[in-house]
């Protein structure tokens, strides 16, 4: 491949449908889907992708049945416990974006622990979007700017795209070059609304638990065939 995307974002969709099609509880689909994360991380490290952002849990997901939500939080804790040493060994840095204060305290503490432990790793950055909403992210950025304007440290002319980007959860992280969405749905589901302005999109009908390294590499090949003009000719 001539061009490797620096940053790949993934909407991991279809866990519930995968489980239901097998007469399994929905959580079984989420558990199986965690194995696909490992496949994508391996593909990133092998090809040189620097950033991988995974849409793990949206703000809207809190509306799901309480049993499913609590199970997802426990699954996240277990994932962090199991993968901490592996991330340290492989040079993977973990980061998280979203309204993290909404997470249960034990889960939030474990997440912070792993993020702190891996903060000096440089081979690959994996960003988990948790309790995340693209609209809320932009709203929080606007409120931050408005507070500075009220205090007199900013005026209208100071507000630029770079300033807004610096107030987003993703400050310091480059915009995604490629967005992958599984399950065939043709929408971005309130994910990285600001950052996806010029992102190439690859949609596959495969459900997330069935998505593996070969599928990730296929998405990179698709990206490699695109012509990115960013509004130019």
- Domains of the chain, CATH where assigned: 7-133+175-224 (3.40.1180.10)
Catalytic residue, chosen from 61, 121, 190, 224, is 61
- Closest C-alpha among 135, 54, 127, 131 to residue 95: 127
Mean pLDDT of 113-140: 98
Tell me, what's the pLDDT at 232?
63
Contacts for 1 with CB less than 8 Å, ≥ 6 apart: 47, 220, 221, 224
pLDDT surpasses 80 at 231: no
Token code pair at residue 174? 């480059």
Q: What's residue 228's pLDDT?
A: 75
Burial of 42 (0-12, 13-18, 19+ CB in 10 A): middle
For 27, the token pair is 């959580």
- Kind of pairing between the strands at 51-58 and 178-181: unpaired
Say which residues have a Cβ less than 8 Å from residue 87's Cβ, sequence separation at least 6. Answer: 93, 94, 114, 118, 121, 126
Asked whether the predicted pLDDT for residue 33 surpasses 70, the reply is yes
pTM of the full structure: 0.96
Mean pLDDT of 12-29: 96
Question: Is 23 noted as a catalytic residue in this protein?
Answer: no
Give catalytic status of residue 61 as yes or no.
yes
Check residue 223 and give its pLDDT. Answer: 97
Would you say residue 209 has pLDDT above 70? Answer: yes
Please give the backbone phi and psi of residue 15, each rounded to the nearest 5 degrees, phi first. -60, -45
Of 13, 15, 177, 215, the catalytic one is: 13
* Chain centre to alpha carbon of residue 211: 16
pLDDT score at 191: 98
The stretch 182-190 carries a mean pLDDT of 97
């Amino acid at each position: 491949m001539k061009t490797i995307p620096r940053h790949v974002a993934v909407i991991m969709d279809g866990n519930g449908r995968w489980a239901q099609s097998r007469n399994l509880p929905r959580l079984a689909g989420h558990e199986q889907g965690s194995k696909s994360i490992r496949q994508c991380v391996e593909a990133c490290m092998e090809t040189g992708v620097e950033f991988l952002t995974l849409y793990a849990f949206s703000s809207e997901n809190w509306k799901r049945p309480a049993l499913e939500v609590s199970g997802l939080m426990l699954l996240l804790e277990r994932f962090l416990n199991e993968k901490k040493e592996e991330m340290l060994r492989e040079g993977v840095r973990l980061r998280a974006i979203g309204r993290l204060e909404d997470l249960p305290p034990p889960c939030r503490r474990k997440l912070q622990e792993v993020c702190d432990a891996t903060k000096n790793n440089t081979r690959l950055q994996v960003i988990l979007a948790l309790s995340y909403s693209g609209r809320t992210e932009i709203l929080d950025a606007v409120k931050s700017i408005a507070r500075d304007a009220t205090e007199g440290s900013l005026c209208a002319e100071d507000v630029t795209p770079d300033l807004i980007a610096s107030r987003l959860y993703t400050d310091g992280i480059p915009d995604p070059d490629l967005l992958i969405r599984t399950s065939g749905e043709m929408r971005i589901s309130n994910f990285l609304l600001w950052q996806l302005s010029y992102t190439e999109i690859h949609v596959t009908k495969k459900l997330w638990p069935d998505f593996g390294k070969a599928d990730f590499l296929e998405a990179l090949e698709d990206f490699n065939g695109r012509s990115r003009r960013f509004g130019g000719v």
